[in-house]
Chains A and B, each alone.
Chain A
Amino acid sequence: MPPEEPLTGSAGPADTPAYERVEPYELVVNGTRMTVEDAWLGESLLFVLRERLGLPGAKNACEQGECGSCSVLLDDVVVCACLVLGVDAVGSRVETVEGLTASGEVADIQAALVEAGGVQCGFCTPGFVVALHDLLRRAPSADDMTVREALSGNLCRCTGYGRILEAVRAVQWQRGAGVSTGEGPGDGA
């Protein structure tokens, strides 16, 4: 924790007038070109998405890469948006849970999470959806250990993870991606 300075609230423009502004810059988010204006140099991609571009899907929790609730895809790779400087996303493709939801790509993951009880307070859910989408397109039949490792950067304080893992197996089953262990949903665990 910072010793003295109060949190500036998600690394937004600090109250201090001396904060460095950057020239307006363009980001491509969910396939759409968007302009970021009047931004402070130190703003994270997470802050820019939520507070400047009106995309609150990526959640703001730990601001130190520990919780995964701000997971987004940056040029097809899953990262924590809180650890990307907004200006450093220029020229890259940013995909947020909103984009994946609108395209319907993650509809089955969302449904399975709801069905299995993998959503309780729901705060971590968008991050899990993005991380799971990333995993299942790279490794459709990922076994249990692989799934657990892929989700190790996403914290959920409600479910105890069992129901989330159950939802993953259900998606794999529905997508016809025979899981390496040959288990169906509800088996094993």
Chain B
Amino acid sequence: MRVARVALPTTVDEAVVALRDAPGAQLLAGGTDFCVEVNFGLRRPPAVVALRRVRELRRHAVTPETVVIGAGTTYADMGDPGLSSALPALAAAARTVGSPQVRNAGTLGGNVATASPAGDTLPLLAALDARVVLRGPSGERTASLGEVVTGVKTTSIGPDEVVVEVVVDRRPGPQQFVKVGTRNAMVIAIASAAVVVDVEAHEVRVALGSVAPVPVRATAAEVHIADAIDWRAAGGPRASEGALARFGELVAGAASPITDHRSTAEYRRLAVGVIARRALERCVARAA
């Protein structure tokens, strides 16, 4: 019988040291993915470094240029007035996650590190070209979301690294997150889309969830619609019916979905075009 190491650090540096000192130690944040795996015998941690007490991970900072969100920010925290007014689509995505109990525990860092294709914070982070800040024994590094989330439940996060925070540039204009599932509560996305409209740069950013191994940008749809929108129309930006329909098609074309126990590839492709268009229409209505 051996005694397992359990570390309950209160700073990121302590967490990094604890992770280095206990071979095989695994980080535990809200436990909403971790503990399910333990309960079902799919994960058997030899040692644990629990992050719940690390206050600095739970901070966020909103400046005119950027939003910095600590990895320990829970879904419930994402509804905070300051954070949700800077990133309304993140707050919207957070509110669709699980249940109140899950939202009280589950964190942004855990969502990134789990790297599920259905991770609900990931489409917005992809749309905003988020940067992920990681800290390990040799210091801090910053990587793009795409460099961190490399495949279905696979990441480039080192076994000795802690995700500290996620940084995004602010975009002036509306943003939306839309998710389809079998019901409203407690549902993993069948397809999801985040749309960000930048009314100053005249740019549209679209990223999709649950329709590819990792969150994907619908680049062709972005270019098409930015060009098709009449940005200077009286009463706010406008897009024609034809342009919107084409946008939906191009979004669907960016998806490479699979058929699994939740849905079929055909439905996912169809649905993601519809919801991305709907998200865009809501953005345009709000930009007016």
Please state if A41 and B40 are interface contacts (CB–CB under 8 Å).
no
List residues of chain B with CB within 8 A of the CB of A183: none
> A64 contacts the other chain (Cβ, under 8 Å)?
yes
Among residues 172 to 188 in chain B, which have CB atoms less than 8 Å away from a CB atom of chain A?
Answer: 184-186
Please state if A83 and B35 are interface contacts (CB–CB under 8 Å).
yes
> B63 contacts the other chain (Cβ, under 8 Å)?
no
In the complex, residue of chain A having the shortest beta-carbon distance to the beta carbon of B184 = A152
Among residues 1 to 55 in chain A, which have CB atoms less than 8 Å away from a CB atom of chain B?
Answer: 1-2, 5, 7-8, 10-11, 14, 17, 19-23, 25, 41-42, 44
> A104 contacts the other chain (Cβ, under 8 Å)?
no
From A19, A41, A65, A150, B36 is in contact (CB under 8 Å) with A65
List residues of chain A with CB within 8 A of the CB of B102: 65, 80, 83, 153
Classify the interface of chain B: helix, strand, loop or mixed: loop
User: Bound complex: CA of A23 vs CA of B53, how far in Å?
Assistant: 19
User: Bound complex: CA of A1 vs CA of B2, how far in Å?
Assistant: 29
User: Bound complex: CA of A80 vs CA of B1, how far in Å?
Assistant: 30
Most chain A CB atoms below 10 A, which of B6, B8, B41, B101? B101
> A170 contacts the other chain (Cβ, under 8 Å)?
no
Please state if A44 and B104 are interface contacts (CB–CB under 8 Å).
no
Most chain A CB atoms below 10 A, which of B40, B52, B99? B99
User: Bound complex: CA of A66 vs CA of B35, how far in Å?
Assistant: 13
Most chain B CB atoms below 10 A, which of A44, A149, A153? A153
> B105 contacts the other chain (Cβ, under 8 Å)?
yes
Please state if B39 and A82 are interface contacts (CB–CB under 8 Å).
yes
Nearest CB of B to A169, in Å: 19
Over the window 19-33 of chain B, the binary record of Cβ atoms lying under 8 Å from chain A Cβ atoms (1 yes, 0 no) is 000000000101110
Known: A22-B4, A66-B186. A83 touches B32 (CB 8 A): yes
List residues of chain A with CB within 8 A of the CB of B76: 77
> A90 contacts the other chain (Cβ, under 8 Å)?
yes
Please state if A77 and B104 are interface contacts (CB–CB under 8 Å).
yes
List residues of chain B with CB within 8 A of the CB of A84: 31, 35, 105
Please state if B41 and A8 are interface contacts (CB–CB under 8 Å).
yes
Known: A78-B100, A87-B50. A20 touches B2 (CB 8 A): yes
Please state if B39 and A64 are interface contacts (CB–CB under 8 Å).
yes
Please state if A11 and B38 are interface contacts (CB–CB under 8 Å).
yes
Please state if A21 and B3 are interface contacts (CB–CB under 8 Å).
yes
> B86 contacts the other chain (Cβ, under 8 Å)?
no
List residues of chain A with CB within 8 A of the CB of B38: 11, 42, 44, 85
> B46 contacts the other chain (Cβ, under 8 Å)?
yes
> B262 contacts the other chain (Cβ, under 8 Å)?
no
Nearest CB of A to B162, in Å: 16
Nearest CB of B to A75, in Å: 9
> A125 contacts the other chain (Cβ, under 8 Å)?
no
Nearest CB of A to B179, in Å: 15
In the complex, residue of chain A having the shortest beta-carbon distance to the beta carbon of B183 = A152
Please state if A85 and B4 are interface contacts (CB–CB under 8 Å).
no
> A105 contacts the other chain (Cβ, under 8 Å)?
no
> B45 contacts the other chain (Cβ, under 8 Å)?
yes
List residues of chain B with CB within 8 A of the CB of A85: 28, 31, 34-35, 38, 48, 50
List residues of chain A with CB within 8 A of the CB of B8: 88, 90-91
Please state if A79 and B104 are interface contacts (CB–CB under 8 Å).
yes
> A68 contacts the other chain (Cβ, under 8 Å)?
yes
> B286 contacts the other chain (Cβ, under 8 Å)?
no
User: Bound complex: CA of A8 vs CA of B40, how far in Å?
Assistant: 8
> A63 contacts the other chain (Cβ, under 8 Å)?
yes
Please state if A64 and B40 are interface contacts (CB–CB under 8 Å).
yes
Nearest CB of B to A183, in Å: 23
List residues of chain B with CB within 8 A of the CB of A71: 101
Interface residues of B (CB under 8 A from A): 1-4, 6, 8, 28, 30-32, 34-36, 38-48, 50, 52-53, 76, 98-102, 104-105, 184-186
**Known A66-B186, A79-B101, A83-B30; further 8 A-B contacts with Cβ < 8 A:** A10-B39, A21-B1, A22-B3, A79-B105, A88-B50, A149-B100, A149-B185, A150-B100
Interface residues of A (CB under 8 A from B): 1-2, 5, 7-8, 10-11, 14, 17, 19-23, 25, 41-42, 44, 63-66, 68, 71, 77-80, 82-85, 87-88, 90-91, 131, 149-150, 152-154
- What are 8 sample pairs from A and B whose C-beta atoms fall under 8 A apart? A2-B42, A11-B38, A20-B46, A41-B4, A80-B105, A85-B50, A150-B100, A153-B98
